[in-house]
Amino acid sequence: MKIAIPIVSDNKPYVINDSLARAPYFALIDNSNNTVKTIVNDYYFQPGGAGVKVAQMLCDLNVKVVLAPRCGENAQNIFNQAQIDVYQTIGYDLQNNYDLFLQKALQSILVTLSNHHQEV
């Protein structure tokens, strides 16, 4: 299974970026063979719609799980349609958050248009 995490740079140790869409890089973890690959986020400087483009890019890469501090509504809707689970990270340490995910200790981010309006 591929897991995507937004990161600040492609240098180790990997640090989680505050924003999913505006992260300069993504770490792609393949937990079937415990490999980590970093990719550049080509939509980092996109003036608008970066979340949608990033979500589509991650879908195209066959990502099944996203770990991030937050996720915009439009990106979350794409992830929901693609059956990609999104979990909220705790702090900025990638390894710690990956371990927490494996322990089922991260909360799911469930943002849909109908839920958003109900909370307001």
Residue spans of alpha helices (H) in the chain: 50-60, 73-81, 94-102, 113-119
In a 3-state reduction of DSSP, which class is residue 28? strand
Q: What rounded mean pLDDT belongs to the chain? A: 91
In this predicted structure, what is the pLDDT of residue 114?
A: 46
Please tell me the total count of domains within the chain. 1
Q: What is the mean pLDDT of residues 12-32?
A: 96
Which CATH number characterizes residue 63's domain?
3.30.420.130
Peptide bond into 24 cis (omega under 30): no
Query: Residue 83 is part of which domain span?
Result: 2-119
- pTM for the model stands at 0.90
- Tens digit of pLDDT for each residue in 45-102? 988 899 999 999 999 999 999 999 999 999 999 999 999 999 999 999 999 999 999 9
Matching residue, tokens 């990638």: 94
% residues pLDDT > 70 (the chain): 92
